[in-house]
Structure 1
Amino acid sequence: MIYSLLRLAIFIVTVGVLYLVGMGGWLVVLVAAIIAAAVSYLALAKQRDAAAVFLEHRAARRTRRPSTADADAAAEDDAS
């Protein structure tokens, strides 16, 4: 979540700077998105790695426990 908030903050600051420089319209959003992506890739490597580890652990927990559908199917198989 911190990583996403930091990326959003970089994007907003970039939009503001480009607007103050004189860029406007939809082009400011497009250019800001490209610049913000590059800056966040370079500046937020530590936060990106932490987010990836968090998502990996969360995905591993989900695959370990059976889903509700699997539990229902197992209960039906046991009943018959």
Structure 2
Amino acid sequence: MRPVLVYTASRIGLFLVTLGVLLLAGLHNPLLLIGASFIVSGVASYVLLSKQRDAVSQRISDKIDRPKPQDD
């Protein structure tokens, strides 16, 4: 569960940082500000959070590959 929480917190943090930077840069239209932050943080997270994304993927893959207990 830890890799999922780290990745999610990192994505939210990156979104908030991007939102703040764009707000300070002079973007004041709320809809445009949120949309641009979403796109910029998504691209940035693709580049910056690759290790965390791989850890989440590995965790999910391990959970799927684990044999299920037999119900008798």
Q: What's the TM-score bracket when you normalise by the shorter of the two chains?
A: 0.7 to 0.9
Structure with a larger share of its residues in helix: 1
Q: Which runs of 5+ in 2 are unaligned?
A: none
* Residues 1-80 of structure 1 aligned to structure 2 (within 5 Å): 1-24=5-28, 25-61=30-66, 64-65=67-68, 71=71
Q: TM-score, structure 2 length as denominator?
A: 0.81
Larger radius of gyration: 1
Select the structure with the greater relative contact order (CA < 8 A; seq sep ≥ 6): 2
Q: CA deviation at 1:60?
A: 2.2
Q: TM-score, structure 1 length as denominator?
A: 0.74
What is the percentage of aligned positions where both structures have the same residue?
A: 33
Q: Which runs of 5+ in 1 are unaligned?
A: 76-80
Q: CA deviation at 1:66?
A: 5.5
Other structure's SS at 1:22 match = coil
**In the alignment, what sits opposite 1:78?**
none
